[in-house]
Chain A
């Protein structure tokens, strides 16, 4: 039949189209949902600068999944850049080497804070790392967590129920909460923590200092941080955990909860006096710099936008200290590859 012929022709044409579509490829970025808003802002500016640039494609799949895909290999089907809200792990670096990814550039784009916040109609909690640890850990000091109200944790706090809304276990933000607030809190509160950490078997330490309780006091709100913001607005007694940019955007509804007397703010996170501060990174394949058109320009634009008064700061990125920024700019210019040194 004639119609069937034309259908086959059409499908054939599509298949051909699939082949030649890859010769001049767009920039591909994968990784952290925390870095996503910044990379998308740069991508937009990159396209708006004009010329016939192809729009970069940015996927937000989480730091771990992003680095895994990044390290799968070199070539048109693999991403050029990985967004990461933590440093690359030693195992990930080894995976990259095994798959022949070649030299990688590590660029710190700025700092982000894991902010604890409550509704501006809330009780005005003032917490310490120790309080957060005792309230949220599954087994503080080796016993199952029985604290129901903040007063159970610290007599100085009000007797309101512990309700903390935060991201799920797959989230980098939650990893950062554990690493930056709960673990140090554990080490302050538990005299045995240091010995356990040094021990060869990490399971007892993880159980005591890393596991978050799952009996309802920590409320998993999913990856959508707007749900946490809405939840806080509806429940003034609850505390929320999210990236600092969400607090910045909702200043009329939320206030930051001070930890150890430091309120989450731009300045406090930038100078690392706020405990929930963590660096954000881009990982770039050097071998793709030559092959993918515009990739070098894209990085250059990134460096131009990450200043304290730059466009990324308006989106909630906290600029890295001057010396870190200068070093990163030099790295982009000289294309300095990273080494495995200092990775965990």
Chain B
């Protein structure tokens, strides 16, 4: 102590009512209030950003979930399509109907029914809906049928009052005739990518995301948790384990594009060893290679989170278990792991959420492709939700704007579902001591 203690005689009690003291107290309270206000402002600001994002997406994206249909009457009897009725019950029906110029028949029907520019009122894939209707009931070919088919983007926009003069006129005419109906677009959740914004669906990308996430989870979770257990419970503390710890922490901060390059080089590269060429290990653009690459990316996150969770389990629990004769493996699997599970799951879900929203590494391994069909399995070419959003945002046709927002809503819903699952699991496994 270098300041001398004040003499006993000088210690008069503090006069809290003195103006100087009152001022100091007021300042303290003001500082307190200010801090609270800043905190509140920060929360309000982030809430406002979130609200703005959601409001924009919902206001633009809800249209992606509705579709306008036009009731089209086609007289198949008059058209007399050259199709063998027997074929319609077989898998060759699609090809037969396509070969019978069904597309032109449908277009012609629209032109005659809706007048000038009528073939522009229906979507390019309207004939596929007609084909489905015929396949369901081949007797349709013997009569005139009224089938609701999707309206084209042009007509759709004109119905909203945002189109060219002739499209507006056509829209008015169809509306007056009562041929237009608007409803929920189930196809958006059922179909895959398309070049026509009316015909696109999110299912292909959603299924691709699900398959990719499954692979990611199956690889990253066991490997990550096992590494964490080994490093925390078994590994000796020495220079090597320190080095490994530092490397894992570094790896968690590596930009995701690097993992894409790694995936490209390792899983899709070719090598020549002693004159024998080794092809790529995994198929390009598939959910399998995407999942493995993303697993490499999120593994460090899982290891770090799991180690922290395992560290947080009180040593007394281990000691007690060892004391009554449990083996180290029994201690880990019966006591430590269950107690650490909430923390491990939280870390895993954070990692999975990151993987779900990741685009950059997947672009490099070919998952940015245009594919009309949903993937049938792990090795089929696939795309994922964020990449689909990226692809649609770059499309020429203006109908894709609302589809992009709708796809973002689906991605958000997927994320929300994953996070809810995490909270549920965490609460279920939560143990107190």
Q: Mark A4-26, 1 if CB is under 8 A from B, else 0.
A: 10010011001001100110001
Q: Mark A207-228, 1 if CB is under 8 A from B, else 0.
A: 0000000000000000111100
Describe B's contact surface by its main secondary structure: loop
- CA–CA, A59 to B368, complex, Å? 6
Q: A249 and B398 in contact (CB under 8 A), knowing A43-B372, A44-B194?
A: yes
A342 interfacial by beta-carbon distance below 8 Å? no
B218 interfacial by beta-carbon distance below 8 Å? yes
Among B6-14, B173-181, B182-190, B275-283, which stretch is in contact with chain A?
A: B275-283
B200 CB, min distance to chain A CBs, angstroms: 10
**Would you call B369 and A245 a contact (CB within 8 A)?**
no
In the complex, chain B residues whose CB is within 8 Å of the CB of A57: 285, 366, 369-371, 381
B148 CB, min distance to chain A CBs, angstroms: 19
In the complex, chain A residues whose CB is within 8 Å of the CB of B270: 77
- CA–CA, A44 to B127, complex, Å? 13
Among A33-41, A176-184, A197-205, A274-282, which stretch is in contact with chain B?
A: A33-41
- CA–CA, A14 to B222, complex, Å? 16
- CA–CA, A308 to B138, complex, Å? 35
**Would you call A59 and B379 a contact (CB within 8 A)?**
no
Chain B interface size, under 10 / 10 to 19 / 20 to 34 / 35 or more = 35 or more
**Would you call B381 and A249 a contact (CB within 8 A)?**
no
A54 CB, min distance to chain B CBs, angstroms: 7
**Would you call A246 and B396 a contact (CB within 8 A)?**
yes
- CA–CA, A311 to B128, complex, Å? 16
**Would you call B288 and A14 a contact (CB within 8 A)?**
yes
Closest residue to B93 on the A side, CB-wise?
A50
**Would you call A22 and B218 a contact (CB within 8 A)?**
no
A98 interfacial by beta-carbon distance below 8 Å? no
Q: A223 and B394 in contact (CB under 8 A), knowing A17-B379, A22-B283, A36-B370?
A: yes
- Set B94, B215, B279, B378: member contacting A50, Cβ < 8 A: B94
Contacting A at CB under 8 A, from B357-380, are: 366, 368-373, 377-380
**Would you call A48 and B125 a contact (CB within 8 A)?**
yes
- Set A48, A75, A77, A249: member contacting B98, Cβ < 8 A: A48
In the complex, chain A residues whose CB is within 8 Å of the CB of B394: 33, 223-226
Closest residue to A20 on the B side, CB-wise?
B379
**Would you call A55 and B372 a contact (CB within 8 A)?**
yes
B5 interfacial by beta-carbon distance below 8 Å? no
In the complex, chain A residues whose CB is within 8 Å of the CB of B96: 50
**Would you call B370 and A58 a contact (CB within 8 A)?**
yes
**Would you call B124 and A26 a contact (CB within 8 A)?**
no
**Would you call B98 and A17 a contact (CB within 8 A)?**
no
B407 interfacial by beta-carbon distance below 8 Å? no
Residues of chain A at interface, number, CB under 8 A: 46
A19 CB, min distance to chain B CBs, angstroms: 9
- CA–CA, A22 to B380, complex, Å? 9
Closest residue to B375 on the A side, CB-wise?
A55
B284 interfacial by beta-carbon distance below 8 Å? yes
B98 CB, min distance to chain A CBs, angstroms: 4
In the complex, chain B residues whose CB is within 8 Å of the CB of A33: 394
- Set A40, A44, A252: member contacting B164, Cβ < 8 A: A252
Q: A51 and B373 in contact (CB under 8 A), knowing A44-B194, A59-B366, A249-B398?
A: no
**Would you call B92 and A51 a contact (CB within 8 A)?**
yes
Contacting A at CB under 8 A, from B213-239, are: 215, 218, 222
A322 interfacial by beta-carbon distance below 8 Å? no
B100 CB, min distance to chain A CBs, angstroms: 11
B19 interfacial by beta-carbon distance below 8 Å? no
A60 interfacial by beta-carbon distance below 8 Å? yes
A52 interfacial by beta-carbon distance below 8 Å? yes
In the complex, chain B residues whose CB is within 8 Å of the CB of A223: 394
In the complex, chain B residues whose CB is within 8 Å of the CB of A252: 163-164
Closest residue to A311 on the B side, CB-wise?
B124
Contacting A at CB under 8 A, from B171-211, are: 192, 194-196
A110 interfacial by beta-carbon distance below 8 Å? no
- CA–CA, A7 to B221, complex, Å? 12
- Set A60, A226, A316: member contacting B393, Cβ < 8 A: A226
- CA–CA, A252 to B195, complex, Å? 21
Contacting A at CB under 8 A, from B275-312, are: 279-286, 288
13 more A-B residue pairs beyond the given contacts A77-B283, A226-B395, A316-B396, with a C-beta to C-beta distance below 8 A: A4-B222, A33-B394, A37-B395, A41-B195, A44-B195, A44-B196, A50-B98, A51-B92, A52-B91, A58-B371, A59-B285, A77-B270, A226-B396
Q: Which 7 A-B pairs have the closest CB atoms?
A: A50-B94, A21-B379, A55-B373, A55-B372, A50-B95, A58-B370, A57-B381
Task: Enumerate 30 A-B pairs (CB-CB under 8 Å) in ascending A order.
Answer: A7-B222, A14-B215, A17-B288, A17-B379, A18-B282, A18-B286, A21-B283, A21-B286, A21-B379, A33-B394, A37-B396, A41-B195, A44-B195, A44-B196, A48-B128, A55-B371, A55-B381, A56-B372, A57-B370, A59-B285, A59-B369, A75-B279, A77-B279, A224-B393, A226-B394, A245-B396, A249-B396, A249-B398, A311-B124, A315-B195
Interface residues in chain B, defined as those with a beta carbon under 8 Å from any beta carbon in chain A: 91-98, 124-125, 128, 163-164, 192, 194-196, 215, 218, 222, 268, 270, 279-286, 288, 366, 368-373, 377-381, 393-398
Interface residues in chain A, defined as those with a beta carbon under 8 Å from any beta carbon in chain B: 4, 7, 10-11, 14, 17-18, 21-22, 26, 33, 36-37, 40-41, 43-44, 47-52, 54-61, 75, 77, 223-226, 245-246, 249-250, 252, 311, 314-316
